[in-house]
Amino acid sequence: MKIYSPVFKHNEPIPTKYTCEGDDISPPLSWEDIPNEAKSLVLIVDDPDAPDPAAPKLTWVHWILYNLDPKSKGLNEHTSIPHGASPGLTNWNKTSYGGPCPPIGRHRYFHKLYALDIVLPDLKNPSKEALLAAMENHVIAKTEMIGTYQKQ
């Protein structure tokens, strides 16, 4: 299973357009080689370097989508919630994408894609922790891509 973006490569900078200094819209993402037995996909985008990469204190959650169609090939730029999918609650206290906006230094943004053997029940805008708990024992594959960003 692979996840990638046509606008940035693994371990390279995320274009400003997709950050708080730009349009703050979600970047396009693509995936492939999803296991045939997958019933749903989960996307979590988070930053383990908050607030300062030299002294990280928490992992900041930027975006959560679950129950994505495993037959889908990805998400377009500026995606809202795809048909059939559900959002989770980010650390911005919203259920939509919140782009990179690091207060200091260059941060890493992990785009994690999970294939599950079930469709999750409606979890009512779960936190990352609640979603991970619901996914437990149901992950059949995982992949990730990292983008970086530092304010200009």
Question: CB-based burial of residue 137 (10 Å sphere; 0-12 exposed, 13-18 middle, 19+ buried)?
Answer: exposed
- The string of pLDDT tens digits covering residues 39-81 is 999 999 999 999 999 999 999 999 999 999 999 999 999 998 9
β-sheet bridge partners, residue 30: 4, 74
Buried b (16+ CB within 10 A) or exposed e, 79-97: beeeeebbbbbbbbeebbb
DSSP 8-state class, residue 104: S
Average pLDDT (94-104) is 97
Q: What is the pLDDT of residue 105?
A: 97
Number of domains the chain contains: 1
Instruction: Please state, in angstroms and rounded to a whole number, the distance separating the CA atoms of residues 48 and 96.
Output: 19
Nearest 5°: CA angle at 70, between 97 and 136? 75
Q: Is the pTM of this model over 0.75?
A: yes
Q: What is the pLDDT of residue 80?
A: 85
Largest CA distance in the chain: 44
Parent domain of 103:
2-149
Query: What pLDDT band is residue 136 in, cutting at 50, 70 and 90?
Result: very high
Mean pLDDT for the chain overall = 97
Contact assessment for residue 106 and residue 150, using Cβ atoms and an 8 Å cutoff: yes
CATH number for the domain harbouring residue 89: 3.90.280.10
